[in-house]
């Protein structure tokens, strides 16, 4: 009976330990932000990524997942892909950093101030940058950094 209790306790401990592990252990996203241009009525989603956690020659892509109702309605979509697929460093090379960016027109410009508020709100997950490939999501990070531009 003591052996079965020990096995059960070890199993419970293992489950607790594994449930505390962070799925986003890749830490590929160095930083990300959203820039609002009120004059041009656009949002520019950008990020800086590192391929240090990836195996050499691994293809990947960045996308921005929109969860906020206001931002999804204002842009008419919930996923924004960057323009190109990227590939991690070659065997024997040092890791690299990549800058990704995508500008999208705002279809409902009257919601610009609501969008800014929604992204800045640390209690909400309005915009998430995700790193994905054919095997699924590799890393993600919620963005709250928002900038304004007027050119």
pLDDT tens figures, 90-102: 999 999 999 999 9
Q: Which residues pair with 34 in a beta bridge?
A: 45, 146
Stated as kind and residue range, the H or E segment containing 31 is strand 29-37
Asked whether the whole model's pTM tops 0.85, one would answer no
Q: Which has the higher per-residue pLDDT, 6 or 55?
A: 55
The pLDDT tens digits of the residues spanning 25-55 come to 468 999 999 999 999 999 999 999 999 999 9
Q: What is the pLDDT of residue 111?
A: 86
Q: What is the pLDDT of residue 15?
A: 59
Domains of the chain (ranges; CATH) run 25-149 (2.60.40.10)
Query: To the nearest whole number, what is the mean pLDDT of the chain?
Result: 86
Residue labelled with tokens 């999804």 = 72
Q: Which two tokens stand for residue 84?
A: 């190109």
The pLDDT tens digits of the residues spanning 62-71 come to 999 999 889 9
Distance CA 9, CA 14 (A): 9
Rounded to the nearest angstrom, the gap between the alpha carbon of residue 14 and the centroid of all alpha carbons in its chain is 29
């Amino acid at each position: 009976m003591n052996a079965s209790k020990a096995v059960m306790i070890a199993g419970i401990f293992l489950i607790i330990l594994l449930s505390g592990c962070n799925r986003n252990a890749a830490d590929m996203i160095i930083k990300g932000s959203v820039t609002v241009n009120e004059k041009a009525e656009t949002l520019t989603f950008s990020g800086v990524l590192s391929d240090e956690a990836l195996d050499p020659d691994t293809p990947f892509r960045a996308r921005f997942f929109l969860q906020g109702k206001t931002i999804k309605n204002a842009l008419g979509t919930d996923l924004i892909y960057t323009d190109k697929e990227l590939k991690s460093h070659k065997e024997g090379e040092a890791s690299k950093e990549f800058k990704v960016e995508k500008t999208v027109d705002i279809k409902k410009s009257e919601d610009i101030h609501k969008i800014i508020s929604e992204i800045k709100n640390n209690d909400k997950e309005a915009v998430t940058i995700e790193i994905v490939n054919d095997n699924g999501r590799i890393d993600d990070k919620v963005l709250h950094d928002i900038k304004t531009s007027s050119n």
